[in-house]
């Protein structure tokens, strides 16, 4: 689809599902070569990272655990800047290698919060996989080990990203028409 309408706003195609899958295959190979044999714990961040996590974890093909967390810092098309929901991290991650899986890093607030929370459980190491990064929106210094694409500071939907609940199930990523 070239464009979609969500809550009356027009979004146009920005990254095709073919390009997304191609890039994820590259990241999955990197994870495989760095993590194989170590049985890491993938921690996907709900709801947005659900599709990315599903694809990258399967493509990596490694023996691993998967444990979801939920954080929400977004309402409408602007980051609200506050972490509303607490996370549910299991404490059995101590001594294990962690890979946080995010859909998008915007201000970096969510990721910083998660890094702090997860390190309290004494993991062996924490790596970060994010499909998207908005470098010009970053307010915190965060390191992303497995990054899909750098994107401009525009509002995106699709492939897990939503606009007030809609658009997560789109296979491509779309940008808000200005
Ligand atoms: P941060 O805490 O500002 O880095 O925001 C991270 C979270 O905000 C992501 O996990 C997304 O759920 C959401 N988010 C950031 N940018 C967008 C966007 O362009 N579209 C939809 N959701 C977004
Ligand atoms: Mg998210």
Q: What would the pLDDT profile of 64-114 be if each residue is shown by its tens digit?
A: 999 999 886 555 566 555 555 556 776 689 999 999 999 999 999 999 989
Atom of ligand 1 nearest to the CA of 83: 2
106 is catalytic: yes
Atom of ligand 1 nearest to the CA of 161: 21
Output the CA 175–ligand 1 centroid distance in Å.
Answer: 13
pTM: 0.92
Q: Which residues pair with 44 in a beta bridge?
A: 101
User: What residues have their beta carbon closer than 5 A to ion ligand 2?
Assistant: 48, 103
Tell me, what's the pLDDT at 89?
A: 77
Tell me, what's the pLDDT at 1?
A: 83
Q: What would the pLDDT profile of 44-69 be if each residue is shown by its tens digit?
A: 999 899 999 999 999 999 999 999 99
φ, ψ of residue 63 to 5 degrees: the values are -75, 125
Residues with CB under 6 Å of ligand 1 are 45, 48, 73-74, 79, 102-111, 155-157, 161
Helices 50-60, 17-35: axis angle to 10 degrees equals 50
Mean pLDDT of 19-45: 96
Starting at the earlier edge strand, list the strands of the sheet with 173-176: 3-6, 9-15, 173-176, 156-157
- What span, in angstroms and rounded, lies between the C-alpha atoms of 31 and 52? 14
Output the CA 46–ligand 2 centroid distance in Å.
Answer: 6
């Amino acid at each position: 689809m070239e464009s979609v309408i969500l809550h009356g706003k027009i979004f146009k195609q920005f990254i095709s599902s073919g390009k997304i899958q191609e890039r994820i295959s590259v990241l999955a190979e990197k994870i495989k070569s760095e993590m194989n044999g170590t049985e890491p714990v993938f921690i996907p961040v709900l709801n947005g990272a659900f599709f990315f996590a599903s694809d990258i974890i399967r493509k990596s093909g490694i023996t691993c655990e998967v444990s979801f967390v939920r954080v929400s810092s977004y309402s409408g098309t602007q980051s609200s800047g506050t972490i509303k929901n607490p996370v549910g991290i299991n404490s059995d991650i101590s001594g294990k290698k962690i890979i946080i899986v995010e859909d998008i890093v915007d201000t970096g607030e969510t990721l910083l919060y998660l890094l702090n929370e997860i390190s309290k459980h004494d993991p062996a190491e924490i790596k970060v996989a994010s499909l998207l990064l908005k470098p010009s929106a970053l307010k915190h210094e965060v390191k992303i080990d497995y990054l899909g694409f750098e994107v401009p500071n525009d509002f995106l939907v699709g492939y897990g990203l939503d606009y007030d609940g809609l658009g997560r199930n789109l296979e491509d990523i779309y940008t808000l028409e200005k």
